[in-house]
Amino acid sequence: MNARIIGTGSVLPKKVVTNFDLAEIVDTNDEWIVSRTGIKERHVAIEESTSSMATEAGKKALEDAGMTAEELEMILVATVTPDYVTPSTACMVQAAIGATNAVAMDLSAACSGFVFALNTAQAYIRAGIYKKILVIGVETLSKVVDWTDRSTCILFGDGAGAAVVSADAEAGIQDFVQYTDGAKGVALQCDARQHKNLFGTRAFENEYVQMDGQAVFKFAVRRVPESIQKLLDRNQLTAEQIDLYVLHQANMRIIETVAKFLKEPMDKFPMNMERCGNTSGASVPLLLDELNRAGRFKRGDKLILSGFGGGLTWGSIYMIW
């Protein structure tokens, strides 16, 4: 059995922050941001929280799937920006939607989070343990971004995306690859919480997101095409046979490089970073939901999903819609 996506949902915070807004805060400009990243605006959570966005996206995905919350056996939430250390965001979603028969847990893999969570769902379904799982990618990166650091604050956005997967004998996830390289984790870091107790205090090293942008860029343009090529080869597919590539929305130039490597046209690489920025673990499910609701998928379509980022982590999925 495979995990097949039978419903999707997403949510973006109400507040929109444009490049022009950012140019009033830090020394940057719209032309630099658009040409280096492809981003024009992003949504920033003010009233919304990680758990509220995850809940709303999850509800929409259930509605799209025509499934009740009670039918769910598992809830997986990928996030690096939870509201609480405990309870997990997944447990909060469980309570909010009334998924009384599900077990809920969070998974931390930064921008690869949703892809890794979907792979985890696939493993549970393949093993015959569960049949119906809600997978959510959600981030409130605005709370861990240094709004005085122009090299990072222009990149990120908040949002959530969700997918309901159910066991299917033929369609769904056919194969996946996933990797981590902890030794290179220093390229993208953020402290969880200040080390402080009765006996001493250690200052924050990275209170906010710190990124070696060029190192992450080089890692992505090498590892993402490589992981996709591995999946294609292993499944005797050519790049041309894939209908759509749904890639993490970090940077337009990374996606252009992947398209060039695969010798595929850019219209097979849909993007929403122009409106959403880089929403880390939420970017792949957000884009999936937008495409699904726009009717871009039909039964039997072959898709590749890819996530990459902090950890370092990266992975790709080959699925039949």
Note the residues at the interface with ligand UT7 (CB under 6 A): 28, 32-33, 36-37, 111, 150-151, 154, 213-214, 216-217, 220, 250-251, 254, 278, 280, 309
Residue nearer to ligand UT7 on the CB measure, 122 or 283: 283
Strand partners, 246: 305
> Is residue 143 within 8 Å of 157, Cβ to Cβ?
no
Q: Which residue is nearest to ligand UT7 (CB)?
A: 213
CB of 140 to ligand UT7, least distance (A): 15
Residue nearer to ligand UT7 on the CB measure, 129 or 186: 186
Which residue reads 């942008």 in tokens? Answer: 213
CB of 182 to ligand UT7, least distance (A): 16
The one catalytic residue among 2, 19, 111, 276: 111
Residue 292 is a catalytic residue:
no
Strand partners, 125: none
Residue 248 is a catalytic residue:
yes
CB of 44 to ligand UT7, least distance (A): 16
> Any idea what DSSP says for residue 41?
E
Cα torsion through 89, 92, 96, 101, rounded to 10? 100
CB of 155 to ligand UT7, least distance (A): 6
Q: How many CB atoms are closer than 10 A to CB 233?
A: 10
> Is residue 102 within 8 Å of 75, Cβ to Cβ?
yes
SS (H, E, C) 106-173: EECCHHHHHHHHHHHHHHHHHCCCCCEEEEEEEECHHHCCCCCCHHHHCCECCEEEEEEEEEECCCEE
The one catalytic residue among 2, 272, 278, 292: 278
Residue nearer to ligand UT7 on the CB measure, 91 or 188: 188
CB of 217 to ligand UT7, least distance (A): 4
The one catalytic residue among 190, 248, 251, 292: 248
Backbone angles phi, psi at 275, to 5 degrees: -95, -25
Residue nearer to ligand UT7 on the CB measure, 270 or 277: 277
Taking the C-alpha atoms of residue 80 and residue 92, their distance in angstroms, rounded to an integer, is 15
Residue nearer to ligand UT7 on the CB measure, 32 or 208: 32
Taking the C-alpha atoms of residue 165 and residue 308, their distance in angstroms, rounded to an integer, is 22
Task: Give me the active site residues, please.
Answer: 111, 248, 278
